[in-house]
Amino acid sequence: MSRGRNDDQGPVERPGVGDQDGVTLSTWDSLFSAPLATNTELRTVYGSLAHTGVLPMRVPVVLSLLAVWAVQAAAEPRLRCTLDQGGTSQVIEVAPVTDPYNVEAIDINGRFRFKAVVIGDAQLIQYIKLYTYYQTARRWVLLHEANYLAPRVQPESYGAALTGRHSLYAPGREREFQYGCALVEANP
């Protein structure tokens, strides 16, 4: 049994709570019941906990959790797409956004436009929408749209792990556009 303190009745025995670690119940009570502590009180409590070995054995655990969190925070999901048209190839990376209307389409050799909309944040991608447009004599026309709901980052994914390889053709123009995308973790 350990001795605690009850303001109305003085010291009181509390069954089932031992002080074999050298930390009495009154120390724990002072940690959690005091509304505000001064710097001197905090140093005293820290010193008593460090002396008993409670803090030193927790420090490696806390540091390892912080290291894991830092690594996870550093790697954010990105949509990486390889775009091929007319003998040229380019790779783009698209970060998650919250507003799909602010995303600009990318011009592909003046013949196609490709727009990748990734909605979400660093923790969760809600959806991805891919649009491909082709140029007519007067305007851009939607040729292809693809939707992916709640996609997951795939570790060690190849270039088109999310979408596969798409080949699109502009009607009456004999122009081909190919793309493939993967959702990857990338450092910001």
Q: 144 has which bridge partners? A: 132
Q: How many degrees, rounded to 5, is the angle at CA 81 between CA 78 and CA 82?
A: 150
* Segment holding 166, helix H or strand E: strand 166-170
Mean of the per-residue pLDDT values of the chain: 75
Q: What is the distance between the alpha carbons of residues 144 and 146, in angstroms, rounded to a whole number?
A: 7
The set of residues, in sequence order, having a beta carbon less than 8 Å from that of 159 and lying 6+ positions away, is 80, 82, 180, 182
Q: Which of 78-82, 155-159, 172-176 has the highest mean pLDDT?
A: 78-82
What pLDDT does 146 receive? 97
Listed by start position, the domains of the chain span: 2-73, 75-186
What pLDDT does 53 receive? 53
Q: Please, is 103 exposed, middle or buried when counting C-beta atoms within 10 Å of its C-beta (0-12, 13-18, 19+)? A: middle
Q: How far is CA 100 from the centre of its chain?
A: 19
Q: What is the dihedral of CA 10, 11, 12, 13, to 10 degrees?
A: -170
Q: How far is CA 72 from the centre of its chain?
A: 7
Percent of the chain surpassing pLDDT 70 = 59
What pLDDT does 119 receive? 97
Model confidence at 46, pLDDT cuts 50, 70, 90, reads low
Neighbours of 162 (CB within 10 A): 22
In tens, the pLDDT along 54-87 reads: 555 555 554 555 554 544 455 789 999 999 999 9
CA end-to-end span of the chain, whole Å?
A: 54
Locate 58 and state its tokens: 């927790």
Q: Is the pLDDT of residue 163 over 60?
A: yes
What pLDDT does 11 receive? 52
pTM metric for this prediction: 0.60
Locate 69 and state its tokens: 């969190």
In tens, the pLDDT along 100-147 reads: 999 999 999 999 999 999 999 988 999 999 999 999 989 999 999 999
Percent of the chain surpassing pLDDT 90 = 47
Q: Is the pLDDT of residue 13 over 80?
A: no
Q: Is the pLDDT of residue 33 over 50?
A: no
Return the higher-pLDDT residue of 77 and 40: 77
